[in-house]
Structure 1
Amino acid sequence: MSLIVVTGGVRSGKSRFAEELAAESGRRVLYVATGQAWDAEMRTRIELHKKRRPDDWGCVEVGERLSDYTDASAHYDVVLIDCLSTWVSNRLMNISEEEWRSEEHTAALLQEAEAWLGQVQASSQTVIAVTSEVGLGGVAMNRLGRWFADVLGDVNQMSAQQASTVYAVLSGIPWRIKG
């Protein structure tokens, strides 16, 4: 098992860098897409990501359950997950406003992240996980934004702790910060 975490700000170049890492491996790659086409802008972003990927890469889309790609990944050596932050966002957006910041929902999401990390650890594949860094900005102005930052911060820390390598991408420049 090898987990590589690629983090950075929004539009920092982290996805492009992670795609380069996967392509440079020269091995069979499965792209795990967490983005959902909620509106025209998101559809355009998804299309741009699709156009950048090599034709021989596999692709599976996951919604709320991050580990849903496991069966599809059996014949691949490298799994590129783009991205953990969108996965967390998808999960939180499907929870009613009355239940935002619920300890039960928070615990369930973190348990799912732990279970996914356990699957990664048990796997022989290289997993490259892209995620947004939320710890460099200010505190969000609303409850949902603060909850997102708290949960994603925990998921990012759990992932980076288990990862053999972590990169931070700033303005398109990757810096290896672990490994």
Structure 2
Amino acid sequence: MSVVMVTGGVRSGKSAFAEEVCRSWGGRVLYVATGGAPRDEEMRARVELHRQRRPHHWGLIEEPLEPEKWLSHSEPYDIVLIDSLSAWVANRVMDVDESDRERFRRLPEELETEWNRLLPCFGQQKTVIVTDETGWGGVALSPMGRLFQEALGRVNQLTARFADEVWMVVSGIPWRLKG
């Protein structure tokens, strides 16, 4: 099958491009929303924009923490759209208590191992994975921010190596990087 990774900066048009890729393939699409419950009005508005933009007949799983559940859908789908890998990593990072130094230190490697184990499962059907590019904003000032950058950088690199195609979206313009 085909795995497509779509990366770029925040608000660059990644999700819209990923949705267009899914539409162009045709078939039944499962949209995997990883953001979790919106915590403020601005996030609720962004979630609503995504909902309105997607076709109503697409399936939906809202699961912020456990990617195994992304794979355990009961209906047959031709395409899985994961939006986004970076939200999943952020949710897992926010789930760690900074005072648990050992867990905090091990988390990037744990996420890399978990994602490396699961990634081949997504290759069994057409899959589009949306993620944020984390390396252009400089080193984060807080330990939690640096943990997020390290963990996301690792899973993004794994995903890019595994993917058949990698696209970067800059200011709404998709650039093919691989495939």
The reply to whether TM is greater than 0.5 is yes
CA-CA distance at 1:74 after TM superposition: 4.7
CA deviation map 1:49-101 (0-9, x unaligned): 00000011111111211221212165100100000000000001011121367
Moved more, 136-145 or 157-166: 136-145
Q: Quote the RMSD (CA, aligned, Å).
A: 1.4
What corresponds to 2:128 in structure 1? 128
- Once the two structures are superposed, the pairs formed by residues 53-68 of structure 1 within 5 Å of their partners are 53-68=54-69
Q: Which of 113, 116, 125 is matched with 1:114 structurally? A: 116
What corresponds to 2:146 in structure 1? 146
Moved more, 142-151 or 105-114: 105-114
What corresponds to 1:4 in structure 2? 4
TM-score by length of 2: 0.94
Identity over the aligned pairs, expressed in percent? 49
- Alignment partners' CA distance in 2, 1:11 and 1:74: 31
Between the two proteins, the alignment pairs up a number of residues equal to 177
What corresponds to 2:40 in structure 1? 39
Moved more, 40-49 or 82-91: 40-49
- Alignment partners' CA distance in 1, 2:163 and 2:79: 15
- Alignment partners' CA distance in 2, 1:63 and 1:80: 14
Q: List structure 1 runs of 4+ shifted beyond 6 angstroms.
A: none
- Alignment partners' CA distance in 2, 1:138 and 1:169: 19
TM-score by length of 1: 0.94
What corresponds to 2:86 in structure 1? 85
